[in-house]
Structure 1
Amino acid sequence: MPYEKHHVRLIELMDRLLDVLERNPGFRSFHLDGQTIVLDDYLEVRPERRDQVMRYVAEGRLSTGPWYILQDEFLTSGEANLRNLLIGHRDAARYGAVTKIGYFPDSFGNIGQAPQILKQAGMATAVFGRGVKPTGFNNAVAESAHYESPYSEMVWRSPDGSEVLGILFANWYHNGMEIPTDPEQAAAYWRTKLADVERYASTRHLLFMNGCDHQPVQLDVPLALETAAKLYPELTFIHSNFADYAEAVASSVPEDLTVVQGELRSQRTDGWGTLVNTASARVYIKQENDRIQTLLENVAEPLATFAAMAGTSYPHHLFVHAWKILMQNHPHDSICGCSVDEVHREMMTRFAKSRHLAEALATQSAEAIAARADTSAFSDYAGARPFVAFNTSGWMRNGTIEIELEIARAPLGEDFAAVRAGLAAISAVGRVIDPSGNPVVSRTEDLGVRFGYELPDDRFRQPYWARVIRIVMQADHVPALGYGAYAWIPTDEAEAEPQGSLFIDGRTMENDRLRVTVADDGTLTLTDKENGRTYGGLCEYENVGDIGNEYMFKQPEGEVPLTTKGLPAQIRAAEDLPFRATLEFRHEWEIPGSADALLEEEREAMVPFPVRKAQRSAERVPFVVTTRVTLEKGSETVQVSVSFDNTARDHRLRVLVPTGIETDRHYADSIFEIPERPNVPAPEWTNPSYCHHQQSFAGVDNEEEGFLVANRGLNEYEVLRDGRNTIAVTLLRAVGELGDWGVFPTPEAQCPGRHTAEFALIPYRGAKARSGAAARASQYKVPWTVRQTDVHEGKLPSRHAFLAWEGDSLALTAVKVNENTGDLMFRWYNMSRSESRLTAVLQAVTGEGEWYESNVLEEVLSERQPGAAGIGRIEREVRPSEIVTLGFRTK
């Protein structure tokens, strides 16, 4: 249901719960599903009951946290997972206490680094509902001797070696719901329930969960347990809580517990119940989520941190607000795209709100830094218009930047024609230089006269007319976590058009690293000059039917995929600059308009999707695909943008990238790790599809060569068992029903209308160079930030890095300020299974300071090395797959 309809039910549930806690001391505890947002949403409507809520939290009768929301772990970024934990801990503490249990009741698989994250946050136990055999779809218990764990209890180990006690809801998280109070009914109930739980429990402590989705509070639990105690006097029935239960189990587990390693994704099952295809349901929400996560954690937070280092205040309250709005879209049934249409419409509104906040915060911080950067070197040039380009990624950067620059202004007046004429008469002829006066290769476009305005802090709004130009230029060696200043200066004569081209001919682009050629059918041939390898047939499109639902992909039986192989493409050179070239090609394709009529009958009859017999219709509809392939000077990355208007239903579109690399394993970007995964599924797997989750990239390599496909918000991929180790990335999946336990039509999940998907091709020199390729893939997602400023002196230099760091195989994921202490916080993780050495030097810090060891909750663990005279340096060994958080405190 839509949010507010569920909200009404939540208010009613909480009212009844507080009433029973008030009048019945025997109702000992209630677990608020591990998320503090439940209380936020309740008290938004019932603020008068806050004191009552806080009293029961303090007494331990209401348990809240450790999360803000119950997220999907794989479809939200590593930093989003941690902000969820940080805000959940913060808010739970404000309500009275934090429940220190790693609670993942219904996540669609569990990330491999969860034990390390939980251990760092002071939690020793994780409870989860999916990911480990014997459970399948809806946790149906399988009959098999090949369980990953014979018990519901196990040791769960992260790739860095961190371990927690893992407890699987082997009987699901509703196995103790609706307990009878009638003795005869209770006897039958407990006879079955006890046998089910004893089947898997490794200790005498048996877990029963009294609740489920849409389940009201059972108010007579104390009476039901009294009845049970009379029926089974040899047993003790305890209305318990997770903390006490976990402590009891941990103290009595046997020594032969199975160790399960890393990701828990139900890979030792038939493959139909993994729910991995939620990674491609409603791709548009994944793309928007990726865009805003990147804006918050890779742009706005670093810029705000730099601005704080330069003397401004860090807007904690606004960042928490932005993160909370974004995370309200992160529950698994939301970000996974497996809800009714109204839910996802509201998500898009939340995405817009969070994006607007992130953009405003980034703009304010960038302008504050630009105002402190010294641009006085441009004072010798009359009419100079300086601007600052920020690289907020963790690595040095070259690339093409664009900015719309105001070269003249006039106040808004009544005589628009005269004002416009005066501005239009101003010459837009000029060139770009760096602070040393060196020319920068660029191209300028005159955009004419536009309306603009300012909202000053000290006076009324200031509307104006402005003469605007657009500059496109090559920025070289902009330092990581830093910036470089440039300026446009007017000239008497027009500069000669920049010379040079990356085009060899109308079909081929080339720089000093890569050569790209497009064939008649739009497939690409890519040559990596560094290792001499050539990859052909790249970027063929595949279209198949999908008679599944938002949870599951199901291709019609016997269907032959449609592809663009051999389909002529209309090819043209779309952009030709000395530092950037773009080829555009267009496929005029036809595909079936929908599934046949049988699919609707099967949906209405709730025919299980694995046995559906529907096929695709004979009717064909136009499906025009426009592809833009871009190569930049000096780049090791080929950027691809694909646009199409989806007029069809019940289908899936993928891009195919055959690597031809011989190996039996591949890898993908996940949460604080790059896990390796087998190309061939386990023997139990019967699903023809073998898709996986990814964050920023997936790739294939061996010792000699490697190929990686990066993406922006495309979370599903598959390495095909086609003899070529083709990486297939899902661009669109269009389905018409939710699925799950009822008949819920979702016409908007057919994703009609315009779509654009973006990805990048990155070849590299084998497994030893994987971390470098991963860094390029991560940087591909981070946009440049460019802000205009004026000519002025400043305390910061014209070119600067706020933090200089080095570390083979390390990835920087967070640059922020601690909300409680004001300390600077930085986080890395080791992408490899080998030890690495981190060296970090902090610059532009006022006064002396010192580094300290921290954790994912940003707590002080141990002091490290003192900084001196505004410069702090630290060196640290980083274990394989370790997540490292360091703080810097100024004195």
Structure 2
Amino acid sequence: MSHAKRAHIISHTHWDREWYLPYEKHHMRLVSLMDSLLDRLDQGPDFKSFYLDGQTIIIEDYLQVRPDQKDRLVKHIQDGRIIIGPWYILQDAFLTSGEANVRNMQVGHRDAKRYGTPSKIGYYPDTFGLVGQTPQLMRQAGIDNVFFGRGVKPTGFNNTVSDGSYESSFSELLWEGSDGSRVLGILFANWYSNGNEIPVDVEEARKYWGRKLADAEKYASTRELLYMNGCDHQPIQLDLPEAIRTAQQLFPDVEFVHSNFADYLAAVEQSLDRELSKVKGELRSQRTDGWGTLVNTASARVYLKQMNQAGQALLEKVAEPLASLAHLLGQEYPHDRFTYAWKTLMQNHPHDSICGCSVDEVHREMVTRFDKSRHVAETIIADSARRIADEVDTTGFERWGKDACPFVVFNTSGWERSDVLSVELDAARLYFREGLPLAETTRRMNELDLSGRILVDSEGKEVACTVEDLGLQFGYDLPDDCFRQPYSCRRVRITFEAENVPALGLRTYAWVRKSGSAATSLAASSSLLAGKRGMENEWLKVDISNNGSFTVTDKQTGRIYKELGIYENVGDIGNEYMFKQPDGTEALTTRELRAEIRVLEDTPYRAAYEIIHHWEIPASADEVLDREQRELIYYPQRTAQRSKHTVPLIIRTVISLSRGGKGVVVEASFNNGAKDHRLRVLFPTDIVSTTHKVDSMFEVVVRENKPAPEWENPSNTQHQQAFVDVSDAAAGLTVANLGLNEYEVLQDGRNTIAVTLLRAVGELGDWGLFPTPEAQCLGEHTVRLEIIPHNGDGITNGAYAEAYQFQIPWTAEQTGIHAGAWAPDTAVVAWSGAGLAFSSLKVNPDSGDLMLRWYNMSGHQSELNCSAASSAAGDLFSGEAYWSNILEERIDEGNRIILKHAIDSSSAPGCSIHAGPCEIVTVGVSKNK
């Protein structure tokens, strides 16, 4: 019998590891669910299969409690009845880095292969919007589809969905990424629970399917209808086979099948007979009313975002590159430790976790995970830096005497870098093993003469610096071959400007006793202070006003940016998901507030001012908010106002300019004592432009300043990662940040960039009342930004590279005087390519090959050239360079990579590869075997 329609029923459960319950309470429910699933599958083949929510961490979580069930679990996975992968966790898209998403896919595939075969399903059931590079990332992982629930259609209270118009005519659509990659998109138009709790009872089933068939047919482009049998933490419907038989009897013209995603996709592709709508780029619910986008999770619990940014940067931009360089020197690459650190970090990346929209217990545990991952990364960094520093030739410092203190500065970014940094050095140590009485050790260290010392580079040129004596300190070594070795030392902190440190390379300095052989280079030692309250270098001029705002003059373009750094405060009667300013209230600002201003630093390499605002802001929302929360009033309809009672908000801002700086660094600290409010800092650009550019995942995306006509929400805040930029053909202003993921380009006639520093709310939101007093974020906070003026093209003039480098901490390692294989100023890999951004350097766990990744920030084709930068790279390109995908699999496709061997002594071996517009390019480099 042929059927007019086919209903594909897919069993699943969407498993948020933590959300409205703490992790372990959800964990225990997961164990029960998995027990029931295995029992049901053991009963026979009529319950055909179950999709394990696309994330392999569920297997880890289950076996952690039920290790004795592994054989049963593996059997059903290998029989194709439990379908796993492709991810390790279901991560948020906009708040996690590109490399974190790649590691998520890599770990998910590796873990899935231990049990069976990873599914090739691009599964994003509840992700809060999707980035524009998703289709390319899917294609590079061998996935040609994306299943998603948000981004093109309004979703509101308790995940209700609207029937209003949206970008796609059907639940099936073609989604085209920034580079032109296409995937088949499947929108859960009636949500990923539209086939939940199917009745077995005949009368109930008749009503159920009469409604459900019509709902799916409303959006489906083919006869293949998708029904998701499950929902958030939904117990398995064990009697589903019986429910399917009931449905088949009631509706004989419909074929009801217990299906899976692969079979459903094959059926859809075979049945397609019409042109699908094409959606291009980001899916951010741009064409909706703007109330249910959940975008303000970008500012919920900002401290989590800051910890995440720091953790990601340490792993992908410091630990992995340093471990790769140490690997070239023969050190084993710590694959397992990296996997552990990444997994621990990624356990904070599900949307209900990193978005800060869970109960307080969840986010307390997240802080511990961030610390754990960071501690592993710091250990890898220390081990790698020590190994490399031991191989750096520091014998050039011998002429300064035996008490010279050499140290190596590492630049693990993809561009040459200059910046001010502080390094702590032990001027001298006395180990306890030497047997001196403790009092004698203390006396010798306290009486150590630190006078007459200077900082020099590897060529013996004096470098301007500031030395802070940190006094007597305790320390210890943990050798690999003996017991711990404690010591007392005299420690100093040296602050200086490291200039022109090569990309993926190092420079070596030493703190030495001054002698007549020093070649001074301090001609540029004049102050950077200028005017009454200003700073100036070759590139920029800064003037501070009485209210603490500042003006920046870009000396290259002549463009002047005024009233930068004014703070704005408004009430917030929303929740962790969404911001809502009380109706009829005006924003408070520091525009009319006189600030305390003083010089904080005046050195040859940096100037800084301290600005203090004493501000009174409302203490909280009024008592109406508590009632409205208890009555579950949907946040757009709330009428609460701000309290008449005020509390002090003291903001300490430090703005600094370094001698070679292309940007002004802003650091603000404050103790938040208020509730139910939002704090932002404003940067008017006064640039005429209808669009702006934003750093997103592997992409600098262009967004409209003005929202679509469907947008009703007065707020138009959006997501960012490293920076947001407003520019025209002649000038631009880039604002870089560290973990401040929410911004808005205001419709104020000045195209002001507003960056959210804090959002304080008292409830989770969504489907019930879950108080979250810790989401009020009371206490101390510190935020950092960099303001980077430029000539209008942030890609070619280096403004975006500066913003990316702002994300990456410096690494320094003290060492001794010794011979070594590497020169004191060394780069390992040199590369060039117009519009390209360097993203990753690591080692493949299977092949041992070095893996390097770039992405094209521009919409134009480019050519990437990569070569060994020095003898430090050894025979890096003596073997083979090959094109790879994000899974680090070799791709044999045409002549994408041309290997260039050295022609003569003046040229280095390397490779060349064409990079398409917005393309993510991964290159594998193998040595000769």
Query: Do the two structures share a fold, i.e. TM-score over 0.5?
Result: yes
1:849/1:867 contact within 8 Å kept: no
Q: TM-score, normalised by structure 1?
A: 0.98
1:403/1:472 contact within 8 Å kept: yes
Amino acid at match of 2:459: S
Which residue matches 1:167? 186
SS in 1 for 2:257: coil
Q: Find the partner of 1:832 among 858, 865, 872.
A: 858
Q: How do 1:225-374 and structure 2 match up within 5 A? A: 225-374=244-393
Amino acid at match of 1:458: D
Which residue matches 2:17? none
| Structure 1 residue 692, shift from structure 2 partner | 0.4
Distance (Å, rounded) in 1 between the aligned partners of 2:861 and 2:341: 36
| Structure 1 residue 866, shift from structure 2 partner | 4.3
| Structure 1 residue 497, shift from structure 2 partner | 13
Which residue matches 2:438? 416
Which residue matches 1:66? 86
Q: Find the partner of 2:416 among 357, 380, 396.
A: 396
Amino acid at match of 1:858: E
Deviations 1:707-733 (A, max 9, x none): 111000000000000000000000000
1:706/1:770 contact within 8 Å kept: no
Q: How do 1:180-579 and structure 2 match up within 5 A? A: 180-382=199-401, 383-412=403-432, 413=435, 415-429=437-451, 430-491=453-514, 499-579=525-605
Query: Per the alignment, do residues 243 and 187 of structure 1 end up closer, same or farther by CA in structure 2, a change over 3 Å counting?
Result: same
Amino acid at match of 2:86: P
Unaligned residue ranges in structure 2 (runs of 5+): 1-20
Deviations 1:303-347 (A, max 9, x none): 001101122110000000000000000000000000000000000
SS in 1 for 2:762: coil
Amino acid at match of 2:88: Y
Q: Find the partner of 1:128 among 148, 155, 174.
A: 148
1:636/1:762 contact within 8 Å kept: yes
Distance (Å, rounded) in 2 between the aligned partners of 1:109 and 1:846: 45
SS in 2 for 1:203: coil
SS in 2 for 1:236: strand
| Structure 1 residue 767, shift from structure 2 partner | 3.2
Distance (Å, rounded) in 1 between the aligned partners of 2:284 and 2:429: 58
SS in 1 for 2:74: helix
Aligned length: 890
Which residue matches 1:176? 195
Which residue matches 1:859? 889
| Structure 1 residue 850, shift from structure 2 partner | 1.3
Which residue matches 2:46? 26
Q: Find the partner of 1:880 among 902, 917, 927.
A: 917
| Structure 1 residue 771, shift from structure 2 partner | 6.4
Distance (Å, rounded) in 1 between the aligned partners of 2:486 and 2:587: 57
Query: Is 1:632 equivalent to 2:658 in the alignment?
Result: yes
2:157/2:766 contact within 8 Å kept: no
Query: Per the alignment, do residues 618 and 295 of structure 1 end up closer, same or farther by CA in structure 2, a change over 3 Å counting?
Result: same
SS in 2 for 1:503: coil
| Structure 1 residue 195, shift from structure 2 partner | 0.3
| Structure 1 residue 181, shift from structure 2 partner | 0.5
Deviations 1:249-292 (A, max 9, x none): 12222341011001001111110011000000000000000001
Distance (Å, rounded) in 2 between the aligned partners of 1:679 and 1:770: 23
Query: Per the alignment, do residues 768 and 320 of structure 1 end up closer, same or farther by CA in structure 2, a change over 3 Å counting?
Result: closer
Unaligned residue ranges in structure 1 (runs of 5+): none
Q: How do 1:766-785 and structure 2 match up within 5 A? A: 766-767=792-793, 769=795, 772-785=798-811
SS in 2 for 1:28: coil
Distance (Å, rounded) in 2 between the aligned partners of 1:12 and 1:220: 17
Q: TM-score, normalised by structure 2?
A: 0.94
Distance (Å, rounded) in 1 between the aligned partners of 2:76 and 2:909: 46
1:384/1:487 contact within 8 Å kept: yes
Query: Per the alignment, do residues 494 and 614 of structure 1 end up closer, same or farther by CA in structure 2, a change over 3 Å counting?
Result: farther
| Structure 1 residue 663, shift from structure 2 partner | 0.6
Amino acid at match of 2:598: R
Which residue matches 1:100? 120
Distance (Å, rounded) in 2 between the aligned partners of 1:69 and 1:687: 31
Which residue matches 1:670? 696
Amino acid at match of 1:440: V
Amino acid at match of 2:630: E
Amino acid at match of 1:243: A
Amino acid at match of 1:339: S
Distance (Å, rounded) in 2 between the aligned partners of 1:661 and 1:837: 32
Q: Find the partner of 2:827 among 789, 801, 817.
A: 801
- Is 265-274 or 250-259 further displaced after alignment? 250-259
Q: How do 1:74-89 and structure 2 match up within 5 A? A: 74-89=94-109
2:670/2:782 contact within 8 Å kept: yes
Distance (Å, rounded) in 2 between the aligned partners of 1:332 and 1:687: 22
Amino acid at match of 1:854: S
1:851/1:867 contact within 8 Å kept: no
Amino acid at match of 1:229: Q
Which residue matches 2:34? 14
2:736/2:803 contact within 8 Å kept: yes
Q: CA RMSD in A?
A: 1.6
Q: Find the partner of 1:654 among 677, 680, 694.
A: 680
Distance (Å, rounded) in 1 between the aligned partners of 2:826 and 2:515: 32
Which residue matches 2:624? 598
Distance (Å, rounded) in 2 between the aligned partners of 1:580 and 1:767: 27
1:845/1:871 contact within 8 Å kept: no
Distance (Å, rounded) in 2 between the aligned partners of 1:492 and 1:132: 69
Amino acid at match of 1:744: F
Which residue matches 1:5? 25
Which residue matches 1:644? 670
1:299/1:782 contact within 8 Å kept: yes
Query: Is 1:587 equivalent to 2:642 in the alignment?
Result: no
SS in 2 for 1:504: coil
1:135/1:170 contact within 8 Å kept: no
Q: How do 1:737-776 and structure 2 match up within 5 A? A: 737-767=763-793, 769=795, 772-776=798-802
| Structure 1 residue 137, shift from structure 2 partner | 5.5
Distance (Å, rounded) in 2 between the aligned partners of 1:806 and 1:266: 37
Distance (Å, rounded) in 2 between the aligned partners of 1:423 and 1:560: 59
| Structure 1 residue 30, shift from structure 2 partner | 0.4
Query: Per the alignment, do residues 768 and 407 of structure 1 end up closer, same or farther by CA in structure 2, a change over 3 Å counting?
Result: closer
Distance (Å, rounded) in 2 between the aligned partners of 1:582 and 1:776: 19
SS in 2 for 1:13: helix
SS in 2 for 1:675: strand
Query: Per the alignment, do residues 377 and 504 of structure 1 end up closer, same or farther by CA in structure 2, a change over 3 Å counting?
Result: same
SS in 2 for 1:502: coil
Instruction: Give percent identity, aligned residues only.
Output: 55
| Structure 1 residue 189, shift from structure 2 partner | 0.5
Distance (Å, rounded) in 1 between the aligned partners of 2:253 and 2:229: 22
Which residue matches 1:722? 748
Distance (Å, rounded) in 2 between the aligned partners of 1:66 and 1:649: 41
Deviations 1:185-215 (A, max 9, x none): 1111100000000000001110000000121
2:221/2:274 contact within 8 Å kept: no
1:521/1:568 contact within 8 Å kept: yes
| Structure 1 residue 217, shift from structure 2 partner | 0.6
- Is 565-574 or 376-385 further displaced after alignment? 376-385
Deviations 1:786-815 (A, max 9, x none): 110001111111111111111111111111
Deviations 1:391-422 (A, max 9, x none): 00110011112111112111225622222222
Query: Per the alignment, do residues 284 and 449 of structure 1 end up closer, same or farther by CA in structure 2, a change over 3 Å counting?
Result: same
Distance (Å, rounded) in 2 between the aligned partners of 1:613 and 1:584: 39
SS in 1 for 2:636: helix
